Amino acid sequence: MSRQGWFFRSLRAARDLTRFRIPAHLNSRLRHISLEATEKFRQRLLEFRQEAVGGAAADDEDLQNHLFRRLDDNRRQVVPWLDAARSLDGAAVLEIGCGTGSATVALAEQGARVTAVDLDPRAIRVAEERCRLYGVEATFFAANAAELSGPIAEQRFDFILFFASLEHMTHPERMAAMARTWQMLPPGGLWGVIETPNRLWYYDHHTAHLNFFLWLSDELAADYVRFSPRDDVREQIGGAENRPLALCRAGRGVSFHEFDLALGPSRNLNVVSSMPLFYRQRDLALRLQWRLSRDCRFERFLAELCADLHRGFLQPTLYLLIRKP
């Protein structure tokens, strides 16, 4: 990278740190770990990532994402957004798709009583270790979100949150998980989707990095993925015995259509907040940057076609909080 490129990248990073400054009441609760503990956890995370990809060397950028960046993003962006809708302190939260626990720590250190669910027991063990190092508590279950029962189903939650997980489910799994958790939520509770690609969007920024890829059927997309610029995605899906299923696991889009089927007509849902709109409303520069972008023009086009939908359903990535009546 050139000196000029490095300078502008650093300038953008500094601007983002200012833009997503953690509110004082949340910042005072952040937990930190020593360099020694960080190195031990990095080694533990490296072992997990190598195991998860079948013994191949873990990608350094992916490792850094799991080690620091996801936790930082949740602290700076997701947690303040959630807390603005309802205080996390003392709130009962069901986190679906906890992975290695980045969001779990970010929620629990704010005083939330977190019940975390993931399909992968290996990831849960890493998440438990992360929570122990940061000195926070959470209850973990290896479970399928489409089949929640027993102690989880009997609890009363203030938040039920799908963290970057709906897009990795098959259609039957997604329908069952959405409908089941909506039924579990008491009146007034908040049901949320976080970091899920919007199927309506013209560009797949999550998996294939191709135009119009999210609009294709699973079968066609599984064949067309050969044109993806991402080597890992082409190899992961192209070499799979069931390529459409492998594509679903890698991540497909979700749109308001699933909400219509599982939760009721989207136009009637009480959308409390959408994270992209939340931050644009509070930051003039971010709002102007958006208005000058091609994405804004596409959003306006969608809004003309879907005038009765909340604008949160029309963003490139779905970050939605919906209050149950």
Please name each of the domains of the chain with its CATH number: 36-203+256-323 (3.40.50.150), 207-252 (no CATH)
Query: Which residue type, as a one-letter code, is found at position 136?
Result: V
User: Among 217, 237, 241, which residue's Cα sits nearest to residue 227?
Assistant: 237
Q: How does pLDDT run across 66-118, given as a tens digit for each residue?
A: 788 999 999 999 999 999 999 999 999 999 999 999 999 999 999 999 999 99
Which run of H or E residues covers position 236?
A: helix 231-238
Q: How does pLDDT run across 219-242, given as a tens digit for each residue?
A: 999 999 999 999 999 999 988 999
Beta-bridge mates of residue 194? 163
Is 8's pLDDT higher than 50? no
CA distance 110 to 316: 28
CA distances 18 to 22, 76, 103, 283, 285, Å, are: 9, 10, 21, 11, 12
User: Among 117, 120, 97, which residue's Cα sits nearest to residue 49?
Assistant: 120
pTM of the model: 0.91
Count the neighbouring beta carbons within 10 Å of the beta carbon of residue 209.
14
CA distance 177 to 303: 28
